[in-house]
């Protein structure tokens, strides 16, 4: 046993879980690409317990990572020879009052929605998948179909309760300790552990009408996506590139409008002036909860086939409007990404830069960036294949970056010190100052690979 392991066991006693199965589970994540085994797992039940851990770990230089839903792609939530703080025990929600709710950071978004819907309310922006934790999504930023209207999931937070890396238990908001607030939202867990967040809520619609609009022409697809984002015709706007017959790709705008009562929306007005193939238009009406949970079915199917547990070398890029077309064409024609034609998913949808408020959320230049997400699965038991896919991610990142793009940093993408400095640009020194102030021993969230 190392000295640190001995000290940890002496300090936390039976609360420190060192069983093989627990260490093995915390040494992996959804990506199944990298592993780092911690010395132990702690399951705090309160901010005071998180504070105890950080006050102990800091002076000893013991790495501390937070695990919520465990959906990191490349070890972001792992802590080799350190402590994993498993926050799933901290998932208290509510009560829902006055169009807001305070939720503990270990709650999953599907648990948050289950608590708000009986009050006729919903978080205004949700990620596609509801199985990530509140803390995990707020630390990344959180993008979804309503981001072009309302901003990031993180932009809907009214107040945060945190414990900093130095062990300070603080409450922050735009008015109360705004510097800490700005360092935590979309801050990749570098400065503090989020204990709880007070979220703004909006009325949940009864139903939504979902249109799938198909395009063969990428130029027209991007122009229509941009127009729809700017005009805000729809409540939810996403889209995909999908393999077409033969070698090419086609594109699908997913345009969703919420409605209440018996009167459906005016499709003629909503779809006017768009260049999709009208013969291919697909329209369906869904209950709002059914729509919000739409990825659950994919999770069930992929869990049944086993793919959900295979390696996931995912890459999420944010492309400037001006170079989006050239990057999409280049990457989708790259032989290294051809497996996306058989399995996987390519998301391609617009955001509005002016709506993205969390200062640490890095976006490319221009008013209308696009999320370009290359979501694929590697066969298990073939580390060479998975490594080649990560290398392809790296090449795509470099290509896109040379045309003004940035990473949405929830990726299977090795990033160097220079990459991170480039990612944050002029905000790097503010982040580094915040890190030194709030996590002076640099113990928090090392798995993201930022070095200060
Ligand atoms: C199937 C799937 C679909 C996804 N869809 C979307 C999507 O539509 N939009 C989108 O934006 N993202 C999406 N993501 C990415 C996802 O939002 C991020 O990877 C998120 O960080 C995962 O959170 P988690 O709690 O599950 O992960 P974890 O691995 O538990 O945590 C991830 C990281 O978050 C930080 N963290 C977690 N909890 C806290 C806390 N309490 N305080 C401080 N830091 C914390 C830590 O640094 C940790 O390393 C998706 C991921 C998957 C696997």
pLDDT tens-digit readout, 36-87: 999 999 999 999 999 999 999 999 999 999 999 999 999 999 999 999 999 9
Per-residue pLDDT tens digits for 224-252: 999 999 999 999 999 999 999 888 999 99
Q: Is the CB of 127 under 6 A from ligand 1?
A: yes
Q: Is the CB of 26 under 6 A from ligand 1?
A: no
pLDDT of residue 199: 98
Query: From atom 48 of ligand 1, which residue's Cα is the shortest distance away?
Result: 77
Report CA(252)–ligand 1 centroid distance (Å).
26
Query: From atom 19 of ligand 1, which residue's Cα is the shortest distance away?
Result: 72
pLDDT of residue 247: 84
Report CA(141)–ligand 1 centroid distance (Å).
9
pLDDT of residue 2: 82
Buried b (16+ CB within 10 A) or exposed e, 196-230: bbbbbbbebbebbbbbbbbbeebeebbbbbbebbe
pLDDT of residue 262: 86
Q: Best substitution site from 25, 64, 71 to test ligand 1's pocket, by max atoms within 8 Å of Cβ?
A: 71
pLDDT of residue 431: 98
Report CA(1)–ligand 1 centroid distance (Å).
32
pLDDT of residue 246: 83
Q: Is the CB of 185 under 6 A from ligand 1?
A: no
Nearest atom in ligand 1 to the alpha carbon of residue 192 is 43
161 near 196, Cβ under 8 Å?
yes
Report CA(236)–ligand 1 centroid distance (Å).
21
pLDDT of residue 379: 93
CA distance 123 to 429: 33
Instruction: Please state the three-class secondary structure of the chain as a single string.
Output: CCHHHHHHHHHHHHHCECCHHHHHHHCCCCCCCCCCCCCEEECCCCHHHHHHHHHHHHHHCCCEEEECCCCCCCCCCCCCCCEEEEHHHCCCECCCECCEEEEECCCEHHHHHHHHHHHCEECCCCCCCCCCEHHHHHHHCCCCCCHHHHCCCHHHEEEEEEEECCCCEEEECCCCCHHHHHHHCCCCCCCEEEEEEEEECEECCCEEEEEEEEECCHHHHHHHHHHHHHHCCCCEEEEEEEECCCCCEEEEEEEEEEECCCCCCCHHHHCCCCCCCHHHCEEEEEEHHHHHCHHHHHHHHHHHHCHHHCCCCCEEEEECHHHHHHHHHHHHHCHHHHHHHCCCEEEEEECCHHHCCCCCCCCCCCCCCEEEEEECCCCCCCHHHHHHHHHHHHHHHHHHHHCCCEECCCCCCCCCHHHHHHHHHHHHHHHHHHHHHHCCCCCECHHHCCCC
pLDDT of residue 74: 98
Mind listing the domains of the chain with CATH numbers?
Answer: 3-87 (3.30.43.10), 100-203 (3.30.465.10), 207-407 (3.40.462.10)
Q: Best substitution site from 106, 108, 127, 160 to test ligand 1's pocket, by max atoms within 8 Å of Cβ?
A: 127
Query: From atom 7 of ligand 1, which residue's Cα is the shortest distance away?
Result: 127
Mind listing the pLDDT tens digit of every residue in the chain (452 residues)?
788 889 999 999 999 999 999 999 999 999 999 999 999 999 999 999 999 999 999 999 999 999 999 999 999 999 999 999 999 999 999 999 989 999 999 999 999 999 999 999 999 999 999 999 999 999 999 999 999 999 999 999 999 999 999 999 999 999 999 999 999 999 999 999 999 999 999 999 999 999 999 999 999 999 999 999 999 999 999 999 999 988 899 999 999 999 998 888 999 999 999 999 999 999 999 999 999 999 999 999 999 999 999 999 999 999 999 999 999 999 999 999 999 999 899 999 999 999 999 999 999 999 999 999 999 999 999 999 999 999 999 999 999 999 999 999 999 999 999 999 999 999 999 999 999 999 999 999 999 999 99
pLDDT of residue 170: 98
pLDDT of residue 263: 86
């Amino acid at each position: 046993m190392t000295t640190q392991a001995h000290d940890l066991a002496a300090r936390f006693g039976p609360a420190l879980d060192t069983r093989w199965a627990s260490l093995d589970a915390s040494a992996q994540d959804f990506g199944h690409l990298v592993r780092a085994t911690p010395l132990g797992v702690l399951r705090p039940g309160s901010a005071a317990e998180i504070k105890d851990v950080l006050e102990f770990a800091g002076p000893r230089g013991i790495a501390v990572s937070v695990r919520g839903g465990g959906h990191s792609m490349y070890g972001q939530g792992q802590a080799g020879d350190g402590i994993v703080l498993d926050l799933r025990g901290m998932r208290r929600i509510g009560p829902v009052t006055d169009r807001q709710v305070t939720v503990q950071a270990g709650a999953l978004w599907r648990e948050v929605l289950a608590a708000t819907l009986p009050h006729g309310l919903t978080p205004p922006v949700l990620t596609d998948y509801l199985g990530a934790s509140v803390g995990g999504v707020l630390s990344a930023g959180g993008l979804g179909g309503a981001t072009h209207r309302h901003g990031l999931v993180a932009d809907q937070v009214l107040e945060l309760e945190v414990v900093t890396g130095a062990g300070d238990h603080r409450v922050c908001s735009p008015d109360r300790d705004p510097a800490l607030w700005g360092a935590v939202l979309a801050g990749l867990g570098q400065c503090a552990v989020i204990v709880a967040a007070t979220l703004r809520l909006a009325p949940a619609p009864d139903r939504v009408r979902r249109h799938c609009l198909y395009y063969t022409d990428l130029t027209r697809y991007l122009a229509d996506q941009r127009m729809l984002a700017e005009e805000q015709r729809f409540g939810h706007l996403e889209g995909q590139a999908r393999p077409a017959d033969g070698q090419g790709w086609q594109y699908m705008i997913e345009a969703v409008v919420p409605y209440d009562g018996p009167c459906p929306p005016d499709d003629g007005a909503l779809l006017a002036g768009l260049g999709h193939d009208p013969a291919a238009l697909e329209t369906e009406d869904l209950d709002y909860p059914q729509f919000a949970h739409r990825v659950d079915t994919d999770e069930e199917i992929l869990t049944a086939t086993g793919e959900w547990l295979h390696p996931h070398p995912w890459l999420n890029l944010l492309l400037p409007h001006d170079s989006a077309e050239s990057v999409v064409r280049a990457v989708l024609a790259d032989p290294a990404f051809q497996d996306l034609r058989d399995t996987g998913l390519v998301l391609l949808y617009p955001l509005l830069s002016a709506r993205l408020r969390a200062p640490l959320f890095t976006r490319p230049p221009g008013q209308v960036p696009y999320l370009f997400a290359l979501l694929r699965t590697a066969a298990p038991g073939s580390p060479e294949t998975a490594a080649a896919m990560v290398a392809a991610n790296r090449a795509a990142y470099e290509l896109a970056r040379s045309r003004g793009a940035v990473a949405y940093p929830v990726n299977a993408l090795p990033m160097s010190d220079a990459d991170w400095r480039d990612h944050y640009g002029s905000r790097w020194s503010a982040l580094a100052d915040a890190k030194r102030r709030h996590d002076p021993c640099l113990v928090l969230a090392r798995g993201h690979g930022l070095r200060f």
